[in-house]
Structure 1
Amino acid sequence: MFMLLIGLLTLSCLPRSVPCGCFDDRDALLYRVDITLPPKEGRDETADILQIKAKVEGLTDIKVIFSFKEIGNPKVLLVLNLEKACSWPQLTTFLSRKGYEVKTTPVYRCSDYARELGVNVSRDIYEMSLEDDEHLLLAKQTCHVKDLTTPEFDEKMRQMFERDVGIVKAGHRAACFRTLASLPVELMHFAPLGPQKMEAGVSILRGPETFDLEITRIQNLDSYVGGCQ
């Protein structure tokens, strides 16, 4: 399992903007949505999160790719495909009325990013379904430009993605997205992980590469029923 994450998370990152026209319209409407429930007297955190869960399940013209609850914190993370721009209000109006803190970030698939670099990968190389996994992690990698030239970044990225393709084809599962921005480059990875492997995994993933790494335990929102975690 960690062979895949090591490959993904030790990627050096290319300081390039995303050229217009590289992706179809649906790709331009992929978003990560972070929802935080701020402290409030009398707030029933479980009830509020279950309301978010019900709202997400009832969205129209918005495809929910992922919906997660951060373990131990009152936070929900969504990855959405916004099929129609005018569909936002059904979600944003609800969240605003509830007084939640919301951050929205446009993203696109790492497979598209790899193909932009010239790597021959299929668009669905990274798994888009993790519903059956109870223990998951979110690994956020922030890459900073150091002393490498653009061609050096290009070559390093190509080599790493090519290695990852082999690892994925060997049966390891993960989903990967890149933030739609030039610098710093941010990659986020979702992958199944047993809790007993967390400590060892974090130690391995913090390699000598020039990036900041943040690991968060998450669970599928569909499986959230409240109570102690």
Structure 2
Amino acid sequence: MRSSVNMKDCQLEMLGGNHTVVKFKKGDSIIKQGVFSTNVIFLRKGMAKVHISGPSREQIVKLVKAPTYLGLPTTFGDKINQYSVTSVIDSEVCFIDLEVFKRLLGENRDFGSYILMELCKSELEAYRRCASRTQKQMRGNLADVLLEFSEKLFEADQFTLPLSQSDIGNWVDAGRESINRVLSEFIQDGIIQMQGRQVRIVDKKMLKMISQNG
């Protein structure tokens, strides 16, 4: 695990002997909202969507890729999962004993600092995303999504969309028809190329300009 850097041998041994590795297929539920949380969950391989049930529908909050921890605010909060996590590609997850994890946080200052930094980064990203999604037009929001896929999740200008157009619409609070229309506009403008779910960003400079202008 990336976060095991700077751990003592005995701490690595403690962590290694107190976790279970589980493989999940695309579409499998990793965390279920409303269920009691008993483990710290580490996404070791793959990618997943974080989503929450609201008053009227399910809302996708974000996509995360390995390696990363899942559900830490719940684990150290009220112990009841406040959102769900579902794999969007085949993934591998470590379920770590909560008490062992807490002990490691107390014994290893570097490890504790790493976890705190990850939580802070996640919160700041949530603020930024909320402001962007509510203030940008559809083209700006979809440009943000494509750039996130390219620069953060896949680190490539050619990738396979991990979400359906309906899910992307849910993520940015738009209908599937709107997503389809804007994608078609991007294709016509020579910004992207698409074949099925395969996407290739042709003009990233223009895509970034659309993102910045909202």
**Shorter-normalised TM range:** under 0.3
TM (norm. structure 1) is 0.25
Larger radius of gyration between Structure 1 and Structure 2: 2
TM (norm. structure 2) is 0.27
- More helix per residue: 2
